[in-house]
Amino acid sequence: MRPDVPARNPERDRASRDFPPEADLAPFGTLSSEGAPPAEAVARFRTLVREYYRRCGRSFPWRETTDPYRILVSELMLQQTQTQRVLPKYLSFVQRYPGFAELAAAPLRDVLALWQGLGYNRRAKALVESAAIVMERFGGRLPADPKLLVELPGVGPYSAAAVCAFAFGLPLPLIETNVRRVFLHFFFVGREGVRDREILPLVQATVDRDDPRSWYYGLMDFGVMLKGRVANPNARSAHYVRQPRFENSNRQIRGRLLAYLTAHERATLVDLGRELPYAAERIALSLSALAAEGLVACEAAEYRLPERSTPRLYQKRRTHYNGVPGFRKDRANQSKGTDMTRDEYIRLEGTYGTNNYKPFDVVVARAKGAWVWDTDGNRYLDCVSAYGAVNHGHSHPKIHKIFIEQAEKVSIISRAFRNDQAGPFYKELCDLTGSRRVLLMNSGAEAVETALKAVRKWGYIRKKIPEGKAEVIVCADNFHGRTIAVVGFSTVEKYKAGFGPFPDGFKVIPFGDIKALKEAITPNTVAFLAEPIQGEGGVNVPPDGYLQEARKLCTAHNVCLVLDEIQTGLGRTGKLLAEEHWGVKADVTIIGKSLGGGYVPVSAVLARGDVLDVFQPGEHGSTFGGNPLACAVGRIALKVLVEENLAANAEKMGALLTREILAMGSPLVAGIRGMGMMLGIELTPEAPPADELCGRLIAEGLLCNTVGPRVVRFTPPLVLDDEEAGWALERLAKVFKG
């Protein structure tokens, strides 16, 4: 053992096993989410933790200092890593880089080399970037302000609280694994799915405001002791995730790749495949992920560690932080490069723009993940997601990387020629969705028009319908776009008024009425066009069995079932395609919006071969449809959708949001419509209008909009996590419960 690593203290270790006696570990009881512990219980709890820390408290070098730099280094090192692994690395690190100035000037390659063995190497990069930011923005002094600390890379709300407590003596609410374990054991007996927001009031009620450092150290040490003496209480936390197996995991591959590149100047994919015992595909994927995070660089097909790390001041942050007033406000993140005010932007739109939208007066300047910021620096959780175009979250790093790479190669080429992205994209779309043919367009409305042209021509060629007699059945309250043909069969009068005459050949029936569909079919019917779940119509879910019966009718009468999955598709409802909820397969499926990954407009018509084969060269097309930039982005958007299990997350988070909103018991909420994270909050008759409630939600930091006067649309990005959902639910409760 190195001489500068503190040796273990056998007597203290033995004391930690024997103290406190079993009787003192008896829980105090179970609290409801609204409950508060009795004063006597709080006093006993404080005495027990303090006495344990006095007798058995552990000694670490980062506990012997209040240097903000060293506290920050230790906090990032300790994230998801045991203290005994951190200890020697910490000592070496602060000896090599004793302050922010030295770390900010250090080559990232050298820092990563020193970090080897700790894992989660992005933390090393985050520390280098944070040091550069502290030097640039704060003159080398770490601010004692959690609102500023969480903007540093790698620093979340609770890491910020820990730095404030241990470096600056601020009694902010702090929860980490061991602290959570203690409170769950003593105050939440038998409770499952306990959320941190239920624990936080207890943390605030018990913290020693005069000496938060010793108090939190005592709690952490007590939690370590509990781990060895009781069944793990953390398994009852809503935030509990069992650590996946490390052996042969992507984490292991990433670590091995960085270790190899640390020891070698550079390497090709062939070199790495020869030296490491993993499939080439897995190595390539891991390299791509590392490159997206800035942990490796690639030049001329050779990989190396980067020399420098460019600070990213404004990254995705989990902005939820309890107990800090006005935390959503972030002046440091205001729009740069202009002195214009919000009202001036709005005036410009009114003066030169066309009045075809009525937006809320939030002027968005930037976005990342599930969050957006306006020009005044206010932060909002985006619960509209550009109507489903941002399923992957704003500026997803993997999609962003491919977008930039492809834009630097070629973005568009005439459709008189081919490109190297279209063919692979066609195949990947067909393989993923079980389709036979693809036709790419740009907007959803273009794809709907394409599908209508295809099924009409299919009817004339395959069914021998007399020319000009083809009929398409559609549903009331539909929304398929805003072209002349589409608004012509809309049942919303404002979409149609003043735009006629409209094309013939469409029959409108009630949505969900299988009898009406059966009666509407004639020998001239070529297609039934519907949304699996109506979006703009009010988030309307069809009756049980409706789509299955519609599928049977279409098959029996040789009618194409055309499902518009522009909003519902690609994971939004908890399945890849919403049709999977009912076990049906459409003849023609229309997708778009999130197919472009939040970067470019991409839409597609997916169909049986005999439907799209009716098109001949020159009969249909689009200048931008199928361009190489759109195809490259579409390919990575599909890959991210699958690899990051976004559909499964939509199902999980949608169920959580639905359950928690209904559990509020708000007199304003009549019910929840939808599936996955395509949700509509239906209002009771006594509730204010939906647009008024949306205004209140926006004031609380939630961007929502309406679908009709009595439904609030709630459709966050599919990357939404537990903490962000909890943040949203707190704001929803504030507005809906008053």
Q: What is the 3-state secondary structure (H, E, C) of 497-515?
A: CCCCCCCCCEEEECCCCHH
Domain that holds residue 434: 397-643
* Residue 366 belongs to some domain of the structure: yes
Does the pLDDT value for residue 323 go beyond 60?
no
- Whether residues 362 and 477 share a domain: the answer is no
* Residue 4 belongs to some domain of the structure: no
pLDDT the model gives residue 455 = 98
Task: Name the catalytic one among 125, 457, 593, 639.
Answer: 593
Query: In whole angstroms, how far apart are CA 254 and each of 247, 260, 391?
Result: 12, 10, 27
pLDDT the model gives residue 337 = 40
Does the pLDDT value for residue 275 go beyond 80?
yes
Domain boundary among 207, 236, 265: 236
Domain boundary among 617, 643, 669: 643
The yes-or-no answer on residue 593 being catalytic is yes
Task: Name the catalytic one among 511, 564, 575, 639.
Answer: 564
Structurally, the chain folds into a number of domains equal to 4
* Residue 245 belongs to some domain of the structure: no
CATH assignment at residue 413: 3.40.640.10
* Residue 5 belongs to some domain of the structure: no
Does the pLDDT value for residue 111 go beyond 70?
yes
pLDDT in tens, 689-716: 998 999 999 999 999 999 988 999 999 9
- Whether residues 490 and 433 share a domain: the answer is yes
* Residue 319 belongs to some domain of the structure: no
- Whether residues 434 and 353 share a domain: the answer is no
Does the pLDDT value for residue 257 go beyond 80?
yes
Domain boundary among 643, 662, 691: 643
* Residue 298, SS3 per DSSP: strand
Task: Name the catalytic one among 93, 166, 183, 479.
Answer: 479
Are the C-beta atoms of residues 272 and 288 closer than 8 Å to each other? no
* Residue 316 belongs to some domain of the structure: no
Burial 131-153 (b: 16+ CB within 10 A, else e): bbbbbeeeeeebbeebbbbbbbb
- Whether residues 625 and 553 share a domain: the answer is yes
Kindly tell me the burial class for residue 470, based on how many C-beta atoms sit within 10 Å of its own C-beta (0-12, 13-18, 19 or more). Answer: buried
- Whether residues 464 and 607 share a domain: the answer is yes
Structure tokens at 646: 């976004």
Average pLDDT, the chain: 88
User: Predicted confidence band at 325 (pLDDT cuts at 50, 70, 90)?
Assistant: very low
- Whether residues 439 and 570 share a domain: the answer is yes
CATH assignment at residue 283: 1.10.10
Sequence-distant (6+) residues with CB within 8 A of 209 are 171
The yes-or-no answer on residue 479 being catalytic is yes
- Whether residues 416 and 540 share a domain: the answer is yes
Kindly tell me the burial class for residue 545, based on how many C-beta atoms sit within 10 Å of its own C-beta (0-12, 13-18, 19 or more). Answer: exposed
Query: In whole angstroms, how far apart are CA 538 and each of 204, 313, 535, 683, 711?
Result: 42, 39, 6, 11, 6
Q: What is the mean pLDDT of residues 9-29?
A: 65
Higher pLDDT, 430 or 329: 430
- Number of other CB atoms surrounding residue 521 within 10 Å: 18
- Whether residues 629 and 692 share a domain: the answer is no
* Residue 3 belongs to some domain of the structure: no
Does the pLDDT value for residue 315 go beyond 60?
no
Are the C-beta atoms of residues 392 and 637 closer than 8 Å to each other? yes
CATH assignment at residue 119: 1.10.340.30
Does the pLDDT value for residue 262 go beyond 60?
yes
Q: In this predicted structure, which of 153-162, 224-233, 265-274, 567-576 has the lowest mean pLDDT?
A: 265-274
pLDDT in tens, 37-73: 677 788 888 999 999 999 999 999 999 999 999 999 9
Sequence-distant (6+) residues with CB within 8 A of 411 are 627, 628, 629
pLDDT the model gives residue 451 = 98
pLDDT in tens, 604-661: 999 999 999 999 999 999 999 999 999 999 999 999 999 999 999 999 999 999 999 9
pLDDT in tens, 345-399: 888 888 889 988 888 889 999 999 999 999 888 999 999 999 999 999 999 999 9
* Residue 310 belongs to some domain of the structure: no
- Whether residues 274 and 205 share a domain: the answer is no
- The CA distance from 555 to 495, in Å, is 32
- Whether residues 346 and 434 share a domain: the answer is no
- Whether residues 656 and 635 share a domain: the answer is no
CATH assignment at residue 693: 3.90.1150.10
- The CA distance from 645 to 16, in Å, is 42
- The CA distance from 683 to 690, in Å, is 8
The yes-or-no answer on residue 316 being catalytic is no
User: Predicted confidence band at 528 (pLDDT cuts at 50, 70, 90)?
Assistant: very high
- Number of other CB atoms surrounding residue 30 within 10 Å: 11
- Whether residues 636 and 651 share a domain: the answer is no
